[in-house]
Amino acid sequence: MERTAVNPWDWSIKLGYHQAEVIEGATRQLICAGQTAVDGAGAPQHPDDMRGQISLALDNLEAVLAGAGLDLSHVVKLGIYATDVDAALSNFDLMGRRFGPHQVAPPMTLLGVTRLALPGLMFEIEATAMA
């Protein structure tokens, strides 16, 4: 799979994502449901802790990817939902720490929402991956 970044402007690169990517040579696509800060039984974890929730949501995303034989380097699109956008952005260094080693900056959308599916959840991340 070959990825070519499309960035008519460079401001998004400074924030850790590309405006778009051309994907060529991919033969498999994985569409992941939104991953949140829940344990293996689906119980919410890290109440009132945005950083903890982002970290666990990323752990869960990586587990789903691994289940399909993929990793974060295969992610080509992210959708992120947060009940507190400012708190999410102030902890986005976690995104860089996870995606940075893979040298990818997938296009993403971050939306502020009033609530997520389960009470207490503050952050959800969905992904599309290709290989």
Residue-wise pLDDT tens for the chain (131 aa)?
999 999 999 999 988 999 999 999 999 999 999 999 999 999 999 999 999 999 999 999 999 999 999 999 999 999 999 999 999 999 999 999 999 999 999 999 999 999 999 999 999 999 999 99
Topology of the domain comprising 28-130: 60s Ribosomal Protein L30; Chain: A; (3.30.1330)
Query: What pLDDT sits at residue 57?
Result: 98
Query: What pLDDT sits at residue 89?
Result: 97
> Is 123:36 a contact under the CB 8 Å cutoff?
yes
Q: Is the dihedral of CA 48, 54, 55, 57 positive or negative?
A: positive
pTM for the predicted model, two decimal places: 0.94
